[in-house]
Amino acid sequence: MQLKNERLLLVLLGAIQFTNIVDFMIMMPMGDILKKALQIGPGKYSLLVSSYGLAAGLTSFLGVFYLDYLDRKKALLVAYLGFMLGTLSSALIPTTSNPELNYYLFISTRILTGITGGLLGGLVMSIVGDVIPLERRGKAMAIVTIAFSLASIIGIPISLALVDMFGGNWHAPFYGVSLLSVPIWLVALKYIPAMNAHIAAARGRKNRFETIRLAFTTPQQRSALLFTVLLVLGQFTVISFLTPFYVNNVGIQQIDLKYIYLCGGIASVFSGFMIGRWVDSLGRFRVFTIFALLSIIPVLIITNLPAVPLWVVLVIATFFFIFIGGRMIPANTITSAVVPPQHRAGFMSLNSACMSFAGGCSALIAGSLITQADENSPIRGYEYVGYVAVAATFGSLLLIRALKKMDGIAPKTAKS
């Protein structure tokens, strides 16, 4: 599919990803605030963080059965509208004198947001796969993936500033994301064209389970899904408790956390565009391997970090963001290439489901490995979380070798 203004489309898709990522990521730098405000320990906090991912994983899985039969634009707009309403519901949670009630209300709104927001990632990636040829897809994926970095540069610092401005009120960032999403939705409604060229081929299929069958019987697709799971486990296990560890163990002040995301995000933006070009020129498999190996270094340092000055944390965190982001750009390019267009939305939704489930499980795994005597005590066992992340990264490197061997084999389609 050819498009007159590819850049505008990519910017809009990046903006949608930006708000979705900020909504999810803001839970982590507010970890210490939420634990104290809701009077919960690591176990309940990990469930709170994972509730969005597990709900998103469920709806992404269900999307496999119907997304390829829908206009991509309409599906994206409906899912984004649901995401906006879910985020607003988190903002509107009343502050009661019962922290336990607040906790369960908050989990409910995170589940509601995940039910709709979980579809966005797969839809965005399938649209990019439809519109951008493979030889130019690395740079395109960089533009969309850069939303993660922009969320760190702009979204997280502004969100944390809003929390500080309103006296530690954790509702404020959700109001901000809700308000920002409205103009993005309106611009997307006007400027994203109808995307239904894939529907005729999809309707020719008699079996709605076909995408699932191909995903688990085609070596390329099966390996790509497992690759996604390991990739997410290799980063979100660490990220889930990153800020509580910085506050309680490293001695970083809550008010200084925004600088960590600001520095890491700025570095990721500049490196992201360069990495996108490298993917197109050097190859997606080679670039992924390099950055996956490099990412192990800051993971091990962070999860074993003693009390150090803020500038040391900023340097380490910057490299962590660069290398983690450097893995995702080639990884998204790899997974988008293993499936034909008529199955792409379904497969990318399934891939998004794997990503969401893995993200939700990452928080639960991390929560099961660490302990904390009380809300102000140091976190124990975080180093084991780092070892799990490193093991998952090595697993993804083994799978990338298998995917590289299968590269060039035409993606499997339905039998006629």
For the chain, which residues score pLDDT lower than 70?
Answer: 1-4, 66-68, 96, 134-135, 137-139, 141, 145, 148-149, 152, 196-208, 341-345, 375, 407-416
Say what the pLDDT of residue 53 is.
80
Structural contact between residues 384 and 369, judged by C-beta atoms closer than 8 angstroms: yes
> Contact at 8 Å (CB) between 407 and 399?
no
Q: What pLDDT is recorded for position 2?
A: 46
Output the pLDDT for position 413. Answer: 54
Indicate the pTM of the whole model. 0.71
With contact defined as beta carbons under 8 Å apart, do 363 and 306 qualify?
no
Q: Which pLDDT does position 208 carry in this prediction? A: 62
* pLDDT in the model for residue 207: 60
**Residue pLDDT, tens place only, 100-145:** 888 889 999 999 998 888 788 778 877 877 777 766 766 676 777 6
Q: Which residues contact 363 (CB under 8 A, 6 or more apart)?
A: 46, 47, 49, 50, 53, 236, 237, 240
Number of Cβ within a 10 Å radius of residue 65: 16
pLDDT at 52: 86
- Is residue 145 within 8 Å of 355, Cβ to Cβ? no
